[in-house]
Amino acid sequence: MEEILAKLLEAAREEETLRKKLLDSRNAEDPLSTFCACATEAGFPITVGELVAIGEEYSSNLHKSVNGGAEYPMEGWDDAYEMFLAALL
């Protein structure tokens, strides 16, 4: 999944139409579904479940990597959608 998101990010940086569609997903009634539909249409198949899971997995791994465990997970690090859009801006 990380590889697909990296390739999607690269493609969106090169292709303004794709970039605009992905950024415009923020204004959709269902932003995650719209984002995934745009990505899949562009040849990067992603489901909402996969997008949520990759963010959660990343955040959990960061949380577990702290010696003795951190008290609180890092806010916002579990939102792969928002992190992707931030990288795209």
42 within 8 A of 8, measured Cβ to Cβ: yes
The pTM (predicted TM-score) of the whole model is 0.79
Q: State the Cα–Cα distance between residues 44 and 48, nearest whole angstrom.
A: 13
Q: Which two tokens stand for residue 44?
A: 């990067």
Instruction: Look at residues 34, 30, 86 and name the one whose alpha carbon lies nearest to residue 55.
Output: 86
Query: How many domains are there within the chain?
Result: 1
Instruction: Look at residues 89, 87, 85 and name the one whose alpha carbon lies nearest to residue 38.
Output: 85
pLDDT in tens, 22-78: 999 999 999 999 999 999 999 999 999 998 888 777 666 666 666 665 555 555 556
63 within 8 A of 69, measured Cβ to Cβ: yes
Q: Which domain holds residue 75?
A: 2-88
